[in-house]
Amino acid sequence: MYHYKILNNRLIMTKAEIVAGISEETGLEKSEALRAVEAFMHSIKKSLAEGQNVYLRGFGSFVVKERAQKTGRNISKNTTIIIPAHNIPSFKPAKVFVDEVKNNVSVG
């Protein structure tokens, strides 16, 4: 059973709670579940850092998005700055994931 905390009137889950839930559901020791979760996150981060997108059917896609160069403002110095083009990680949930969240979670 997963356990949740409340922050700003919203239920939240931490990595430790995910590990505990996986351990309970699978019968793995918490240390093994933690290693699996850490390895999963490392794999995703490494793939994205190398410019490779990650697709998990039924869950979603971790993708690298390209941001174009743009002009910004440093309001404390009242100057214009150039923000260079850069890549950022992004997550796009699968349609079945979105539908499940829509149908099972009430927004507070």
Q: What residue segments make up the domains of the chain, in order of their start?
A: 1-52, 61-108
* Torsion angle defined by CA atoms of residues 44, 46, 48 and 54, in that order, rounded to the nearest 10 degrees: -40
Q: What is the pTM of this model?
A: 0.74
Give dist(CA 18, CA 71) in Å, integer.
Answer: 40
Q: What does each of the 108 residues of the chain score in pLDDT, given as a tens digit?
A: 556 666 666 778 889 999 999 999 999 999 999 999 999 999 999 999 999 999 999 999 999 999 999 999 999 999 999 999 999 999 999 999 999 989 886 544
Pick left, alpha or beta for residue 78 (phi over 0 → left; psi -120 to 50 → alpha; otherwise beta): left
Q: Is 52 helix (H, G, I), strand (E, B) or coil?
A: coil
Q: Is the dihedral of CA 20, 26, 28, 31 positive or negative?
A: negative
CATH 3.40.50.880 fits 61-108, yes or no: no
